[in-house]
Amino acid sequence: MKTVMVTGGAGFIGSNFIHYLLRVEPDVQVINLDALTYAGSLENLVDVSSNPRYTFVQGDICDAVFVDDLLRQYQVDTVVHFAAESHVDRSILGPRQFVETNVMGTFTLLDAVRKYWIQEKGLPLDDVRFHHVSTDEVFGSLSAGEAAWTEESSYAPNSPYAASKASSDHLVRSYGHTFGLPYTLTNCSNNYGPFQFPEKLIPLIILNAIEGKPLPVYGDGQQIRDWLHVEDHCEAIHLVLKKGKTGSTYNIGGENQPANLTIVETICDILDEVLTDAQNKPHKNLINFVTDRPGHDRRYDMDIHKINTELGWKPRRTLAQGLLDTVNWYLSHPDWVAVIRQKQEYKGWMDANYKSR
């Protein structure tokens, strides 16, 4: 890797990956391509903005001419593709944007690198890589006791978001098989940690609890997810880029299976301990069960045997430690929270999604 283009690098996982990459790869140049839609913010990257190895470029991954020019201008040899619409609830209210960004955006990127790397031979094919970041949601939903998903599990997406990500995964594989594009693909479980947009479960619960607001829990709260700290995810992606086999897919998970209600209650317990003068203790009293979302998947579980045996990766953080660190991060970054919450798109979304429940 000499020049890495990170798409969606101003978002939650993308910005964490840029921090990680600049830290562990002292000679790499990083190009951050982001459209700065509602979930992307340069506030996430303030501390690297003056780094001479970091360049921010605002643009749309669906703009083929723009992407073509960008690849050539910076002689990009590695693309790490995070850019995506990623919130299931938003995909239910407005699925079109998910198809445009996640499917057509991925297609545009793939076709751009195909032309530059393969047709024009702009760089040696042995020196390039397209890495696609996907989700466990493409596999559908598991019942109680059903075996965890492996890399060979069938796709069965249940939401417009999951279907759009499944489509993009298939496009990546097709470009590898048909055109010989060097790619790797990872399917990760639910991420959490610093810089996560506060519409997602964990930051939403943390911030509402701090302010004494209701803590919305969908349905009975017994939906099960596998939670992965974003730093562990970044380490896994970096390892796949360095040592993963071209044309391979790797599952990345946190090796835990709590119910959503357990996550909410754990955060409440942490806040009870760290906020000694809080007026809302016990914070569990703020829990409010609300109408479930349509088609809510019941259980996810990721088998990480392949990445563990082939590359030696496993998550470093326990869920308990990761949640404590995350709570402390949000408590110590009120300025970041204030800036993000001022976005009109955030305010409108929270009203649209929760007031009717």
Q: Which entry of 85, 137, 265, 301 is annotated as an active-site residue?
A: 137
272 as an active site residue: the answer is: no
Find tokens 């701090």 and name the residue: 210
pLDDT (tens digit per residue) in 26-70: 999 999 999 998 889 999 999 999 999 999 999 999 999 999 999
Cβ atoms of 268 and 217 within 8 Å: the answer is no
At residue 196, does pLDDT exceed 90?
Answer: yes
Per-residue pLDDT, 88? 81
Per-residue pLDDT, 346? 67
Rounded mean pLDDT, 295-319: 96
At residue 284, does pLDDT exceed 60?
Answer: yes
At residue 9, does pLDDT exceed 70?
Answer: yes
Beta bridge partners of 132: 81, 185
Determine what percent of the chain is predicted with pLDDT higher than 90. Answer: 87
Q: Which entry of 136, 226, 231, 301 is annotated as an active-site residue?
A: 136
**What pLDDT band is residue 193 in, cutting at 50, 70 and 90?**
very high
Q: Which entry of 54, 116, 161, 250 is annotated as an active-site residue?
A: 161
Average pLDDT, the chain: 95
Phi and psi angles of residue 217, each rounded to the nearest 5 degrees, phi first: -125, 120
At residue 344, does pLDDT exceed 70?
Answer: no
Find tokens 């003068």 and name the residue: 277
111 as an active site residue: the answer is: no
What does the DSSP 8-state code read for residue 104? I
Nearest to 143 by CA among 224, 207, 50: 224
301 as an active site residue: the answer is: no
Phi and psi angles of residue 279, each rounded to the nearest 5 degrees, phi first: -85, -10
d(C-alpha 52, C-alpha 48), whole Å: 9
Q: In 25-115, which ranges are continuous DSSP H helix? A: 64-74, 88-93, 96-98, 106-113
Cβ atoms of 324 and 275 within 8 Å: the answer is no
Nearest to 272 by CA among 284, 259, 264, 262: 284
Among the CATH numbers 3.30.420.40, 3.40.50.720, 3.40.50.1370, 3.40.50.10540, which is that of 3-197+227-255+297-318?
A: 3.40.50.720
pLDDT (tens digit per residue) in 102-160: 999 999 999 999 999 999 999 999 999 999 999 999 999 999 999 999 999 999 999 99
Q: Taking the model in full, what pTM does it have?
A: 0.95
Measured CA to CA in angstroms, residue 356 lies from 70, 180, 211, 352 at distances of: 43, 49, 21, 7
